[in-house]
Structure 1
Amino acid sequence: KSYRYNPMRKASNQNESLILHQNIQILKQPFDYNKCGKTFFKRAILVTQKGRQTERKPNECSECRKTFSKRCTLIVHQRIHTGEKPYVCNDCRKTFRVKTSLTRHQRIHTGERPYECSECGKTFIDKSALIVHQKIHGGEKSYECNECGKTFFRKSALAEHFRSHTGEKPYECKECGNAFSKKSYLVVHQRTHRGEKPNECKECGKTFFCQSALTAHQRIHTG
């Protein structure tokens, strides 16, 4: 089979080669994206970057792409990356990322333990510790408060709780007349009159009226 020379076909092939060459040269040139200042050597990468910039959610962390429903939550999260800890404890100068962590930590110094187990009276610095502790009691809570519906394992615990509704404070201090809803509160209070602080920290010598306050304080030294 014979082939006839076609000058138009040769020109067409040359044009295709020229266009291909020009495209290669274009791809070799860097592309600047004016939104973020980044430079790319492939147009496809540039397009992808543009997509990322336009698709970014309002409260998205630029470091890890995690998103948040509120801007204030994003700001707190970003401190993980920056290492910023703006909340400082005045007692020991320990720093924290969020205010709630500082508040919880300060209870170590004050001895405050606002979360109390309704079954055994044991107190805790934070609610999570109380929840874990309550699991040791187990069993069925058969005593229910008819005022608020809260239930208890023991009848005595219900009776003690019920005083929060009635305001009854049967335990009175003979020194000053102050009254308390629990006997344990009275015992701790009476130490203030005697100046008694039997719970001393062996690390720094600081003393406390109750063992729970000392235990909470000692966490400063143990970390």
Structure 2
Amino acid sequence: MLILDVTEVKGESQELNEVKEKHQEKSSSSSDTEKNVSQKRADAKGSFSCSQCGKRFTRKGHLEVHMVIHTGERPYTCPQCAKSFTCKGSLKDHFRIHTGERPFTCPQCEKSFTNSGGLKRHVRIHTGERPFTCRQCAKSFPSSGELKRHIRIHSHTGAKPFVCPQCGKRFIHRGHLNDHLRIHTGEKPYTCTHCGKCFTHQAKTLKRRTRMHPDENPFTCPQCGKSFLHKGHLNDHLRVHTGEKPFTCPHCGRSFSHKAYFHVHLRIHTGEKPFVCPQCGKRFIHRGHLNDHLRIHTGEKPYTCTHCGKCFTHQASLSWHMRTHPEETLKRRTRIFSQQMALRALEIAEFCLLPVPYTSTT
């Protein structure tokens, strides 16, 4: 079975999001002049209206493509994995996952994609373009999918519309629910091609291949020798050595090496807190902060003192507690003293290596 790129494998709603995004992009990028021309064409040729939502199209074919959003029809099926699609072009793009073909390459960083839509969304990382805007808070996003996920923050349902029929657990994304359902079914569809071990999640399969079978990763870092399955991952890693930080905050000027870190930082300025506690409704900027908070409700205390066995909810609380033990305090002081002595020895060594100034005796 072929190992798929985790960044390429999308949820079931990805294709419909792309169809919607194409329509939204056309409407948002058109000028008033273009709109007038389109209206004249519609008047001349006759317009085609969607009976479900009233959206109008100048061509019948465009209306038919749009209608699959409402009907859910998927007549085109992949012969390799049986996944179905709404249009032939989407099937063609999907099939490249199996063949490994990535014909669309970013001119800036050379990262490649299986379809033009993926490249277009990626290029916005470099251009900073964010054409999709939230009507409630005016925050903008580079893709319609990100806007859709953001809008759930404003909903009154806790932004978790997908419910597990087995245990009632709720999820923000349908893909997360699908992953969770495998806990109940025991399904492990992702297999490592090198050792045969099976996994429930695509990310775990890719992680195992990267860590356990590094010889099969074709892209190697010239600095440290670490290897990667995809060139884009190597490019991200290289910033560790170069110090490059291409993602800059427009509010405070702070720069970041990775897009994910940049987006998390932006929440400090926007006040966005997308992670909601299902118990008390408290919101958090980071998922990790929510996980820590949830232990207040569950009573879980995973951090245990090795000296007295006392348990704590947070790692920081354990660290402070450890200082109450004399032996731990002694270890800490010894470690600090050793570091100070090492620094002093380095200063002396540097001083001894300084050139001796020449003094004339005549």
Work out whether the TM-score is over 0.5.
Answer: no
Pair member with larger Rg: 1
TM-score (norm 2): 0.25
TM-score (norm 1): 0.39
